[in-house]
Structures are given as structure tokens and as C-alpha cells.
Amino acid sequence: MFRTSRTARRGRAALTWMGEWRLPGSERHAARSARAVKREIYRNEKRVAKLEAERNKSGKPPYNPGAWGGI
């Protein structure tokens, strides 16, 4: 119910910060970078899923970049 609420986001951010605040600077930066990569991967997966859903709705075959041998 509160998964996307402002309170839940702030709580998650606070827990993340508390888990990282004692790390040395380089490790803290690495942790932030890793989270940014995970976010980007998740966004790309959501985007591809949305395109697949639209394509399936319109009756076109699903998107598969390797299906045509790189053509």
C-alpha cells in the first residue's frame, strides 16, 4: 500500500544513507554508482516490456534483436 508513497521513499533513502554513511568515500561512490546502474537496467527492462506489450497488442511479432542474425 505504501510502496510508492513519499514516506516509503524517504524511509528507503534514509536506510540507504545510514547503511553507507560510515563507508570510506570511494566505497560510498561505488555503492551509489552500482545503484545507478541497477536503476538504469530496471528502466530499460520496463521500457522494453512496454514496447513488447504495445507490439503484442498491435499483432506484430515480439521484438527480438538476435532473431534476424544482426540484420
**pLDDT 10s digits, 13-66:** 899 888 888 889 899 999 999 999 999 999 999 999 888 888 777 666 666 666
Query: Does residue 15 fall inside a structural domain?
Result: no
Query: Does residue 71 fall inside a structural domain?
Result: no
Domain ranges, residue 47: 24-59
Query: Does residue 4 fall inside a structural domain?
Result: no
How high is the pLDDT of residue 41?
94
d(CA 23, CA 31): 9
Q: Helix or strand or coil: residue 51?
A: helix
62 with 49: CB under 8 angstroms? no
How high is the pLDDT of residue 43?
94
How high is the pLDDT of residue 36?
93
Query: Does residue 13 fall inside a structural domain?
Result: no
How high is the pLDDT of residue 61?
64
* pTM score, whole prediction: 0.56
How high is the pLDDT of residue 68?
61
Q: Helix or strand or coil: residue 6?
A: helix
